[in-house]
Amino acid sequence: MYKPRLQRLEWVYADYPIFFLTMCTEGRRKILANNNTHEAFIRSTKGAAAWHVLPGRYVIMPDHIHLFAAFGPDSISLSAWIKAMKSALSAEFRKSALLPPSWQKGLFDHLLRSAESYEQKWEYVRDNPVRAGLVAKHVDWPYQGEIHPLILGQL
């Protein structure tokens, strides 16, 4: 008779939607998983709140970074913020005499729609170093953390 109606989502995103972001190095060069890059990453993301961006959990792999970040209604654009972060990290690479280009153009971004999705994505990202054979347990990977706690729908 009638086709069943699709259920509407309760909401698509809140005032601070959370994005799952992945940025890769040019040619997948393994230049990221080290203390200097990790410290530069933390420095570059800690000031993001001034732009109404809240970086959350992250994992820095040898050739890419996974990051969750919430963007407020008055925030800088996603692409402008990523460009600034990549630029800050590139400055750190130049100190180590790494020649550019350092980053692939663009990034992968995915808008999260539920707290469950956030936790599922985080579990996948958190276990990346284990799947890559870099550590036996995710807690042993030194290049991960959380800048701001993000709770979908509660920012």
The per-residue pLDDT for 59 is 98
What angle do the packed helices 35-46 and 78-95 form, to 10 degrees? Answer: 140
Going along the chain from its start, the domains and CATH numbers come out as: 18-146 (3.30.70.1290)
Confidence at residue 11, expressed as pLDDT on a 0 to 100 scale: 47
Token pair of 138, please?
Answer: 């995710």
| DSSP strands (E only) in the chain | 18-24, 53-60, 64-71, 108-111, 144-146
Residue 66: the pLDDT is 97
Q: Which residue has the tokens 């985080």?
A: 122
CB 42 within 8 A of CB 58: no
The pLDDT of residue 6 is 53
* Per-residue pLDDT, 8: 42
Cis peptide before 100 (omega within 30 of 0): no
pTM for the structure as a whole: 0.85
- pLDDT tens-digit profile, the chain (155 residues): 556 655 544 444 456 788 999 999 999 999 999 999 999 999 999 888 888 899 999 999 999 999 999 988 888 889 999 999 999 999 988 888 777 788 999 899 988 877 778 888 999 999 999 999 999 999 999 999 999 998 765 55
* Residues contacting residue 24 through CB under 8 Å, at least 6 positions apart: 63, 64, 103, 104, 107
